[in-house]
């Protein structure tokens, strides 16, 4: 950040009084501009024994498979954002069952919150951010073509718990990728 969003003056990077880390501070108007992690919300949509994945039409990871998810918007709840992202990316209607995985990704300042969800019907299609939307059983998941580690972690946890017959709520922290 170079300029204050409130008055347009040049900001300084310093630790404000009473804080413990550097922030962008405007010396002209005194505004402190906090930069905090962004929330990615989405769903793990299920129909019978299959899960729905979307093949990305956008970067990052164009052409790779993912669960329908994206950045939460101001003014919406996490649940509303997850359902909106599912409609936008897969033109699908879902019923949210429960929060399922919360994956902290500190090296890119994100938190991914994915809900278990039930597809309400088979009326789905690629949205503008998807090349393809498809139902997969566990044996056919394109594991080597998944876009994000949080998606792989969520899917592996889901299939293991489905075999066990009960689902929990999970928090994971992803380390930065090696190399």
Q: What is the pLDDT of residues 26-73, one digit of tens each?
A: 999 999 999 889 999 999 999 999 999 999 999 999 999 999 999 999
- Secondary structure (DSSP) of 35-93: --PEEEEEEEEEETTEEEEEEESSSSSTT-EE-SEEEPPTT--HHHHHHHHHHHHH---
**Do 52 and 18 share a structural domain?**
no
pLDDT digits (tens, 9 = 90+) for 116-161: 999 999 999 999 999 999 999 999 999 999 999 999 999 999 999 9
Structural domain count, the chain? 2
pLDDT digits (tens, 9 = 90+) for 77-127: 999 999 999 999 999 999 999 999 999 999 999 999 999 999 999 999 999
Residue 178 in this model has a pLDDT that exceeds 80: no
**Do 42 and 31 share a structural domain?**
no
Q: What share of the chain is helix, strand, coil (3-state, %, to 5)?
A: 20, 35, 40
**Do 11 and 31 share a structural domain?**
yes
CATH of the domain at 117: 3.90.79.10
Q: What is the pLDDT, as a whole number, of residue 177?
A: 83
Distance CA 33, CA 25 (A): 6
Print the domain residue range for 161.
38-173
Asked whether residue 178 is assigned to any structural domain, the reply reads: no
**Do 90 and 154 share a structural domain?**
yes
**Do 7 and 47 share a structural domain?**
no
**Do 20 and 46 share a structural domain?**
no
Distance CA 49, CA 170 (A): 21
**Do 49 and 16 share a structural domain?**
no
For residues 59 and 103, the answer to whether their CB atoms sit within 8 Å is: no
């Amino acid at each position: 950040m170079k300029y204050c969003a409130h008055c347009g003056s040049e900001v300084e990077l310093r630790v404000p009084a009473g804080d413990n880390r550097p922030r962008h501070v405007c010396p002209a108007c005194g505004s402190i501009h906090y930069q905090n992690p962004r929330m990615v919300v989405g769903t793990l949509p299920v129909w019978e024994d299959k899960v729905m994945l979307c093949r990305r039409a956008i970067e990052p990871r164009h052409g790779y498979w993912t669960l329908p998810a994206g950045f939460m918007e101001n003014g919406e709840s996490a649940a509303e954002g997850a359902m909106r992202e599912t409609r936008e990316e897969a033109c699908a209607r879902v019923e949210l069952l429960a929060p399922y995985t919360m994956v902290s990704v500190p090296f890119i300042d994100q938190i991914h919150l994915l809900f278990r969800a039930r597809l309400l019907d088979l009326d789905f299609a690629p949205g503008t951010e998807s090349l393809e939307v498809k139902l997969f059983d566990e044996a056919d998941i394109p594991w080597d073509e998944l876009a994000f580690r949080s998606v792989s972690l969520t899917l592996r946890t889901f299939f293991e718990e489905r075999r066990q017959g009960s689902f929990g709520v999970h928090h994971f922290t992803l380390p930065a990728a090696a190399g």
